[in-house]
A and B are shown apart, each in its own frame.
Chain A
Amino acid sequence: MPDAILKIENLNAYYKDFQALYDLNLYAEEGEVLAIIGANGAGKTTLMRSISGLIANGNDQIIYRGNSIGAVKPNRIAELGIAMVPEGRQLFPSLSVEENLLIGGQVGRSGPWSLQRIFELFPILEERRAVASTSLSGGQQQMVAIGRALMSNPDLILFDEISLGLAPVIIKTIYEALPGIVSTGMSAVIVEQDITKALSVSSRVYCLQEGHVSLEGASASVSREEISRAYFGVE
């Protein structure tokens, strides 16, 4: 295996009292975009919350750059260089657009991303920097959520369902911005229900089904049939 930035080893994770992931194994290579697909309830969001530290697990079940982080607190993980764009955007309603971005940068990691760079990526945010984050449209809120994660200059960025609930034209804009983001050398894990989108931006893909990996492969070579089998579990 080449240099893995992230390794998940026999992860058993729980969503409340319910076990969502069973002995899960996967890895992400340095600099790659990894896609994770799967139906609702397959365990994708639990996996994201586990990596970002919001769900505590056995420490050795998640390895980041050779260090065990399964039981590390989320604020420490952010300092280590993992950022997340959470499902449903989850901006801070009492903070303005600019403050939402600034608080993302509060981790204090240095790198190419600054307020100015975010405004270049999404110019509409500069225009609306002073307004309350709740007054933005869904797509603009998603831009803030992405910008907020980038502001910490992460080495690994997690995107959880970034196209959920957005108009197709907005999804297109956001996905067009992705290559520019990961070309800075960042690794990314993308959780997505839109399989075509997920495959088009990623180099490798995992499909989860009921807490297990049901398919693993290069995004360019997996077939539609393989995916639907892995997705729905039907032969």
Chain B
Amino acid sequence: MEWVNAIIQGTLLGGLYALFAAGLSLIFGVMRLVNIAHGDLIVLAAYLGLSVIMTTGLHPLAAILIVIPMMAIIGYALQRGILNQTIGDDLLPPLLVTFGLSVIIQNGLLEAYTADPQKLNAGEIETASIAVGSISLGMLPLLTFTAAVVIIAGLQYVFYRTALGRAFRAVSDNQDIAQLMGLNKAHIFGLAMALALAVTAIAGMLLGMRTSFDPAVGGSRLIFGFEAVIIGGLGNLWGTLAGGVILGVAQNIGAQINPGYQLLAGHIAFLIILAFRPSGLFPRMSG
């Protein structure tokens, strides 16, 4: 029963990893940009949430609704102001610039909020749980997993059923010809980053409610996000959810064997999948 519990808790944790990964996957899919600062942007969202909660006294779940547009605006401005200038045939400039951005965000947060660990206090929901047989499911992990499923379904809908998604795919396919269709590449990229950071806002807030955070924890969130994306297969959003779940389950099984093995087990699962399926479990779907 302990093992069943580990797998179920791992699955729910996987929802959070899928949320870390969804923004990463979306940005890479639309503009072939590998965003090294993604983890730090997740942490930035949590800190923005902290400030919103301290000034307004809102519950973290309500504060999400304010953090989402804040992060979306940051994303659009970041893309139009900085990142668009780095995008081209060469993958290296955006990599270097987002790495620099990562350093700047970390130090900016350190300056503004100090290195003290912080937490978003969600009150009763943090400890509430539902008992299913002998397994108890935490409300917050359940909520996180549900959010991941809903958000990924939503992104999938936007991508394949709306004019905006059509524009995303067209620009991703062929930037030159997409512009001949009257699409402003710089604007479309800005919208993609805004959407990605809106998802990041939710990921960051849920992270902050689940565990404590400090300005330096972005790096490991980035790794989890990357691993979920790669396990699932680049460019496949549902695959990203599966990747997150596999990572979460592997970590929890590792922890079940020995608490020290938690992170190691996740990385090993990632390496095994990479060794046997280099392009991920579900590479690029078409619809």
Contacts and interface: CB of A to CB of B under 8 A. Distances in A.
Nearest to B188: A75
A92 B184 contact: no
Given A103-B166, A103-B167, A132-B286, A94 B181 contact: no
A52 B176 CA distance: 10
A79 B179 contact: no
B256 to A, nearest CB: 41
Nearest to B163: A106
Nearest to A134: B286
Interface stretch (A22-30, A83-91, A204-212): A83-91
A164 interface: no
A78 B181 contact: yes
**Main DSSP-derived SS at the B contact region:** helix
Nearest to B183: A75
A95 B169 contact: yes
What bracket does the count of chain B residues touching chain A fall in? 10 to 19
Interface in A101-142: 102-104, 106-108, 132
B172 interface: yes
Contacts of B286: 94, 132
Given A94-B286, A95-B166, A132-B286, A103 B173 contact: no
B179 to A, nearest CB: 4
Given A95-B166, A99-B166, A132-B286, A106 B172 contact: no
B176 to A, nearest CB: 5
Contact of B183 (A52, A53, A83, A106): A106
B180 A86 contact: yes
Given A53-B179, A54-B180, A92-B177, A75 B170 contact: no
Nearest to A102: B166
B127 interface: no
Nearest to B171: A92
B173 A74 contact: no
B260 interface: no
A128 B124 CA distance: 55
A99 B173 CA distance: 13
Interface of A: 52-54, 73-75, 78-79, 83-84, 86, 90, 92-95, 99, 102-104, 106-108, 132, 148, 152
Interface of B: 163, 166-167, 169-170, 172-174, 176-185, 286
7 contacts: A54-B176, A54-B179, A74-B180, A78-B181, A84-B180, A95-B166, A103-B166
